[in-house]
């Protein structure tokens, strides 16, 4: 932004933000505008009436940069001798494909709360807020509008259920971190809630000691807190599933821990349970399914954890597509809210001949970086040599034999918080060091440890799929979803709210 400001023809901050949002409109699609272009409206009136989807399933791989599904496909092939549902959908001539621009109101780089709020209200908001404009104006979230139209609403996530992405569809808060208040806004507004974050409902963990667990059950929600509960209660009219006090575990750790597998359902299992409940309504439903830990792994530069959670997301998307396959009334959308750290498989070795072998080393990874960190720190408390402890820990959890020089770097970063000099300050942290060192063996490296502003991939199948072809902004999704439900509602934007003063 400084380069733009230094130009002779200065661009104001408001103009700069408009440029970020208008990028998708340049030379590609009039569909990037927030309202439907007149030409398209005329075409609709002239042609045969199109069927609007009765049900919409929005599958969100949070923090998924564009290279992530292209790496998840070969990993699934290598590890399970099968491909991914998204890769197959990309080859389906009936499906539509596009991109979403992601800029928030106050930044070219969005956070999850602002991105979800753009979907959930049709208006841009500042990062860190949920459906709330800078002047305090509360926007009506889509869950409330759909409920008024008789639709049922479900939110499923591997994050805390009050996290930024699910909350953007149903809550209005100046701060995305106010989980206690967000949880109260779900009551009666959302029919199915499944994920982590039990602390926001538990009277022993809430600051106000309010017993939301009891209140939800009094209102008719079936409460699930184990995987067994989920499998035993198919088709409950309303569901509240909370399986951990905070976030659900990474899939790579879930796969390796029988206790976790027995207690915590997979994202696909939660998705199927949500669909069994939501389809009981007679006017259709909206379901959002989020693979949140793809984003968390990206922040850690943890490529193995990221790709296994992407595969878990793909399994959930496959469940959604299977549900829709025998129906003509269900739209399924696969996308992300923003990129994160932009991982990529580099060319390795002479003529890049070693890239495949490097990537295949990911098959030896069996723990998330968080588990590696915690284990190494425990072992470092003993009297043993830090380098030896580092090498044995990395070998145990990744199958990689680190050279001693690399083990010194990793051990000092993870245990002592001491980092080697790097020109990329984004990697000046323990996970950045670990990611770079292991990336020299896997071939996968990251640009940083934070969100990025690149457009995100989108694929859609079912009635209405073509509405999502081409380049759009997150805010363009809201009028489509409300339009399918027959809802006529326009939330104010920051510009219209300011003009009304």
User: Could you give the CA distance from residue 21 to residue 219 in angstroms, rounded to a whole number?
Assistant: 42
Instruction: Tell me 367's DSSP state.
Output: S
Contact 217, 223 (CB under 8 A): yes
Contact 470, 29 (CB under 8 A): yes
User: 210 phi and psi, to 5 degrees?
Assistant: -70, 135
User: 81 phi and psi, to 5 degrees?
Assistant: 55, 35
Rg value, the chain, Cα: 23
Q: Which residues contact 208 (CB under 8 A, 6 or more apart)?
A: 180
DSSP β-ladder status, 444-445 and 344-345? antiparallel
Count the Cβ atoms, other than its own, within 10 Å of residue 417: 9
Query: Which H or E run contains 432?
Result: helix 430-442
Interior angle at CA 31, CA 28 and CA 32, nearest 5: 75
CA 148 to chain centre: 27
| CA-to-CA separations, 236 to 12, 16, 184, in angstroms, rounded | 53, 49, 21
3-state secondary structure of 48: coil
The DSSP-derived string for 56-125 is EEEEEETT--THHHHHHHHHHHHHHS---HHHHHHT-TTSEEEEEE---SS-SS--HHHHHHHHHHSS--
Q: Where are the alpha helices (DSSP H) in 149-300?
A: 164-167, 179-186, 212-218, 227-232, 251-256, 258-263, 267-278, 293-299
Residue count of the chain? 501
User: Could you give the CA distance from residue 372 to residue 94 in angstroms, rounded to a whole number?
Assistant: 44
For the chain, the straight-line distance linking the first and the last C-alpha, in angstroms and rounded, comes to: 29
**Does the active-site annotation cover 395?**
no
3-state secondary structure of 287: strand
Which one of the listed residues 61, 104, 112, 277 is annotated catalytic?
112
Give the HSE-up count for residue 239: Cα atoms under 13 Å, Cβ half-sphere.
Answer: 36
3-state secondary structure of 477: helix
The DSSP-derived string for 377-408 is HHHHTSSS-HHHHHHHHHHHHH-----HHHHH
**Which active-site residues does the annotation give?**
112
């Amino acid at each position: 932004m400084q380069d733009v400001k230094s130009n002779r023809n200065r661009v104001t901050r408001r103009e700069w933000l408009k440029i970020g949002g208008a990028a998708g409109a340049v030379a590609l699609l009039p569909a990037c505008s927030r309202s439907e272009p007149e030409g398209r409206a005329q075409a609709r009136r002239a042609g045969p009436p199109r069927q609007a989807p009765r049900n919409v399933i929005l599958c969100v791989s949070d923090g998924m940069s564009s290279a992530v599904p292209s790496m998840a496909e070969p990993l699934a092939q290598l590890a399970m001798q099968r491909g991914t549902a998204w890769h197959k959908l990309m080859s389906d001539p009936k499906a539509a494909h596009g991109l979403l621009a992601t800029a928030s109101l106050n930044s070219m780089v969005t956070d999850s709360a602002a991105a979800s709020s753009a979907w959930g209200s049709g208006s841009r908001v500042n990062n860190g807020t949920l459906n709330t404009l800078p002047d305090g104006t509360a926007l009506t979230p889509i869950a409330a509008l759909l409920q008024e139209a008789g639709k049922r609403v479900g939110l499923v996530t591997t994050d805390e259920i009050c996290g930024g992405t699910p909350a953007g569809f149903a809550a209005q808060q100046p701060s995305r971190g106010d989980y206690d208040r967000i949880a109260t806004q779900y009551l009666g507004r959302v029919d199915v809630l499944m994920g982590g974050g039990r602390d926001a409902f538990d009277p022993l963990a809430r600051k106000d000691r309010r017993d939301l667990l009891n209140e939800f059950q009094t209102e008719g929600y079936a409460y699930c807190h184990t995987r067994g509960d989920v499998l035993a209660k198919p088709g409950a009219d309303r569901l509240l599933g909370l399986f951990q006090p905070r976030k659900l575990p990474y899939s790579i750790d879930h796969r390796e821990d029988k206790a976790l597998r027995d207690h915590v359902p997979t994202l696909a299992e939660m998705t199927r349970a949500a669909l069994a409940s939501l389809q009981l309504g007679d006017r259709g439903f909206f379901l959002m399914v989020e693979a949140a830990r793809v984003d968390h792994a990206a922040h850690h530069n943890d490529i193995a954890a990221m790709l296994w959670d992407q595969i878990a997301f793909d399994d959930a998307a496959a469940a959604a597509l299977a549900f829709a396959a025998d129906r003509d009334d269900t739209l399924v959308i696969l996308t992300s809210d923003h990129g994160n750290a932009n991982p990529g498989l580099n060319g390795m070795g002479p003529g890049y001949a070693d890239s495949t072998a490097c990537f295949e080393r990911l098959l030896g990874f069996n723990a998330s970086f968080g588990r590696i960190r915690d284990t190494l720190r425990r072992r470092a408390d003993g009297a043993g040599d830090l380098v030896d402890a580092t090498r044995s820990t990395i070998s145990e959890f990744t199958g990689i034999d680190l050279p001693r020089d690399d083990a010194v770097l990793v051990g000092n970063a993870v245990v002592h918080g001491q980092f080697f000099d790097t020109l990329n300050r984004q990697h000046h942290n323990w996970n950045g060091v670990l990611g770079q060192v292991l990336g020299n063996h896997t071939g996968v490296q990251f640009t940083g440890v934070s969100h990025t502003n690149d457009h995100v991939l989108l694929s859609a199948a079912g009635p209405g799929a073509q509405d999502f072809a081409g380049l759009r902004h997150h805010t363009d999704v809201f009028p489509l979803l409300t339009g399918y439900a027959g809802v006529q509602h326009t939330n104010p934007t920051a510009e219209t709210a300011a003009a009304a003063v």
